[in-house]
Amino acid sequence: MGTAPRAARVSNNSSMNNTTPTANRAARGRPAPSSFETRVLHSNYTIFQIKEQRFLTRDSEEDPKVEPSSQKTMLPSSPSRSIHVYISLSSSTFQLGHDLRFLCSSEDMRKEHFSCQKWTLKQLQYKDENTPKCTQNHTTHPAILFSIGGFSGNYFHDFADVLFPLFSTSFHFRKEARFLISDYKPWWVNKFRQILDHLTKHDLVDIDGEKLHTHCYSKIIGGLKFYRELIADPSLSKSAMQSFRRELRRVYALERKTAIRDGAIRPRLMIVSRNRTRILTNVDDVSRLATTLGYEVVIAEAGVSTNVTRFAQTVNSCDVFDGNTWRGLTNMVFLPDNAVLIQVVPFGGIDGFARLDFGNPSDGMNIRYLEYKITVNESSLSQQYSSDDPILKHPESYKGWNAVQSIYLDKQNVTIALDRFKGTLAKALKLIRH
């Protein structure tokens, strides 16, 4: 390899793309997509030291039977540790994605539940006698380091925090990038193996558990490109989500690119059912109403163990997609173009969050968006609290995420007023036809 190059400062020769997560994520107390740790080393390469604070939920973070949405408390699991990354001076490229830090914000409504640790990049001397020698050289292919910790396992965050940002970061490498995964969860990797295999042709590396080899790269991208939930940075790409959806159609063999417009054929309406929280108590009545209006109705529920391929194909066969706010609506990514998404927003002050997570991304997916806001009379909360209780009378006064979640998400079921909802279904039908 010739004479060892001299250590150099991180300067404009290095690509330092350090973007900032959106305010809505901080406002909900969500950390940015999880940071990483790694052992990527090279004795003749520039040495950088990265400090990290890892996080664990109070409950088990790796049991797929425990959905992270129920794991409310975030606690630091260990003191900061130093990780070394060695990068060739010839290319001098270490790109920092925004996901190298947890942001602290004065508006953070759950900051009492987790610490915020900034990441630092420090240059060391390459002749450090403790530096191990390379056993695996990857000089022709870049590496992307990212974590599947944090809120992964929650279906929405699987796509918003990991899969779409990973696609945005890696797709231009045309499957040549190597994925170094921190907080590796075998069950999670198996669940989304088809997507991962379409993004890289190389074996995945559990970098935390790598004890046998010392891997060396000439180019490393640290963290994933993230702009907003399920939205790409418009200054970088206006079609990233459309490209992602095309990739999903290939991955899961989704047959329909566009929704139906033939007036002679009944459009398919999927109603996403729930059986734990935000239950639609009169789903059969809603189904009968939709049928009388001219829909073919499909009722389905997606759980942790649901086969992604089969469910994606069912969603893709539908023209209108209706469900309560959050996880299940993430399946909108499988809808054909020009389909209609109807988001049923529970009673309470969560309208802004619901719109940010699903209303705003729908435009980039070429999906029409409708919103049905539950009134107090349609909410089970009206049976639990008196009419003058602040929970019913002044829901806007509950601004902390924990309060909003525990009251308006976890404890609320919905009984849709059919006469009101009929207008929303009719509007969706009109959008499909024109």
How far is it, in rounded angstroms, from Cα 209 to Cα 194?
A: 23
Which distant-in-sequence residues (6+ apart) come within 8 Å of 11 by Cβ? none
* Amino acid, res. 80: S
DSSP 189: H
Helices (H), 371-417: 381-384, 390-393, 401-404
Same domain for 414 and 287? Answer: yes
Residue 294's pLDDT is 96
Going 66 to 68 to 71 to 77, the CA torsion angle's sign is positive
Residues 158, 233 within the same domain? yes
Is 10 a domain residue? no
Domain hosting 410: range is 268-433
Q: Residue 254: enclosing H or E segment and its boundaries? A: none
Q: What's the pLDDT at 55? A: 30
Cα 61 from chain centroid (whole Å): 16
- Whether residues 192 and 319 fall in one domain: no
- Helix (H) or strand (E) segment spanning residue 181: strand 178-182
Contact (CB, 8 A) for 207 and 39: yes
User: 255: how many CB neighbours lie within 10 A of its CB?
Assistant: 10
Per-residue pLDDT, 415: 96
* 80 domain-assigned: yes
Closest C-alpha to 218, from 111, 92, 348 = 92
User: With a cut of 70, which residues of the chain have pLDDT below it?
Assistant: 1-132
DSSP letter (8 states) at residue 94: E
Among 416, 370, 412, CA closest to 395: 412
pLDDT value, residue 127: 58
Give the amino acid at 103.
Answer: L
pLDDT at 394 (0 to 100): 94
243 and 278 together in one domain: no
CA atoms within 13 A on the CB side of 386: 2
User: How far apart, in whole angstroms, are the C-alpha atoms of residue 35 and residue 395?
Assistant: 35
> Would you say residue 338 lies in a domain?
yes
Residues 228 and 298 in one domain: no
Residue 5 falls within a domain, yes or no? no
Joined tokens for residue 6: 């001299």
Using the structure block, give the residue that is written with the tokens 């996403």.
272
| Distance, CA of 152 to CA of 348 (rounded, Å) | 26
How far, in Å, CA of 104 to CA of 106, rounded?
7
Tell whether 205 and 322 lie within a shared domain.
no
Amino acid at 90: S
Tell me: do 188 and 327 sit in the same domain. Answer: no
Residue 260 lies in a domain: no
In the prediction, which pLDDT does 132 show?
A: 66
User: Which element (helix H / strand E) includes 169?
Assistant: helix 164-170
Strands 55-57 and 74-76 come out as: antiparallel
Among 251, 283, 299, identify where a domain stops: 251
Q: Are residues 231 and 347 in the same domain?
A: no
Number of domains in the chain: 2
CB neighbour list of residue 70: distance below 8 Å, 6 or more residues apart: 59
Q: What is the SS3 assignment for 411?
A: coil
In a domain, 278, yes or no: yes
Cα distances (angstroms) measured from residue 416 to each of 224, 285, 413: 40, 9, 10
User: Of 251, 276, 310, at which residue does a domain stop?
Assistant: 251
Q: Using CA atoms, how far apart are residues 178 and 136, in angstroms rounded to an integer?
A: 13
Q: What angle do CA 129, 132, 137 make, to 5 degrees?
A: 140
Tens-place pLDDT, residues 267-304: 999 999 887 788 999 999 999 999 999 999 999 987 77
In a domain, 87, yes or no: yes
Rounded CA separation 243/239 (Å): 6
Residues 287 and 375 placed together within one structural domain of the fold: yes
Q: Which two tokens stand for residue 420?
A: 């009101």
Q: What is the pLDDT of residue 114?
A: 34
Based on the fold, state whether residues 291 and 339 are members of the same structural domain: yes
Q: Which of 222, 251, 280 is the C-terminal boundary of a domain?
A: 251
Residues 176 and 40 in one domain: yes
Residue 105, C-beta contacts closer than 8 angstroms, at least 6 positions apart: 23, 26, 27, 111
Residue 322, classed as helix, strand or coil, is: strand
Let me know: does 140 contact 29? Beta carbons within 8 Å. no
* 370 C-beta neighbours (distance < 10 Å), count: 18
48, 130: one domain: yes
Whether residue 182 contacts residue 38, with contact meaning beta carbons closer than 8 Å, is answered with yes
Q: Is residue 121 part of a domain?
A: yes
